[in-house]
Amino acid sequence: GLHAVLDGSWATYEKYTAPLGVGFMVQPGHHYGPSVDGYEYSPWGTYHFADRDGVGVDRSAGTGTGYAAQYGGPWAELFESPRTCPDELLLFFHHVSYGHVLHSGKTVIQHIYDTHFEGVEEAEEASRTWAGLADLVEPARHA
């Protein structure tokens, strides 16, 4: 019911707006609906640095902004390399090719594709669940 919708909403939202830690890709001014280029050309800066060669932001100490080194050990070492960085944070800390193979065995592009559609399906299911609770929730709250 509602508990499952609320508990799963963060992961669902992340699936279609911020895969692999790339940073949110939503419409500027609100958070409803994905937009790959929503903030990419804004004064706030870029989030995904997607180009023909890959996607993600190089925040490693060796070749990027050095942001990964601001963490204490052992986290700095973990985040420094795409090989050891957790998949869910990979694109936050590294710019990798679309064909880069994740720890899951999927390529980056396949993961983005799959999770985008999973997220949409989960959002649709959450909407159906919420609609099914109409008789249990005050009309003003359920609107």
Mean pLDDT of the chain: 87
Structural domain total, the chain: 1
What digits encode the pLDDT tens for the residues 80-97? 999 999 999 999 999 999
Q: Is the pTM of this model over 0.85?
A: no
More confident residue, 70 or 43: 70
Does position 38 have pLDDT exceeding 60, yes or no?
no
Spatial separation of the C-alpha atoms in residues 13 and 122, rounded to whole Å: 9
Query: What confidence score (pLDDT) does residue 16 get?
Result: 80
Q: Give pLDDT, residue 1.
A: 82
Residue 118: other Cβ atoms inside 10 A: 14
Q: Which two tokens stand for residue 143?
A: 């609107």
What are the pLDDT digits (tens) for 121-132? 999 999 999 999
Please give the Cα distance from 73 to 87 (Å, whole number). 19
Residue 75 lies in a domain: yes
Report whether pLDDT(32) > 90. Answer: no
77 assigned to some structural domain: yes
Q: Note whether residue 141 is domain-resident.
A: no
Q: Is residue 98 part of a domain?
A: yes
- CA 123 to each of CA 5, 32, 45, 54: distance values in angstroms, whole numbers, following the listed order: 9, 12, 28, 28
Q: Please, is 120 exposed, middle or buried when counting C-beta atoms within 10 Å of its C-beta (0-12, 13-18, 19+)?
A: middle
Residue 44 lies in a domain: yes
Residue 140 lies in a domain: no
What pLDDT, on a 0 to 100 scale, did the predictor assign at position 28? 57
- Around 71, how many Cα atoms within 13 Å sit in the side-chain half-sphere? 14
Q: How far apart are CA 88 and CA 82, in angstroms?
A: 11
Question: Please, which pLDDT band fits residue 33 given cuts at 50, 70 and 90?
Answer: low
List the single range of 15-24, 40-49, 90-99 with lowest mean pLDDT.
Answer: 40-49
Say which CATH number the domain at 20 has: 3.90.1330.10
Name the β-bridge partners of 34: 26
Q: What is the pLDDT of residue 118?
A: 96
Domain region containing 94 = 2-131
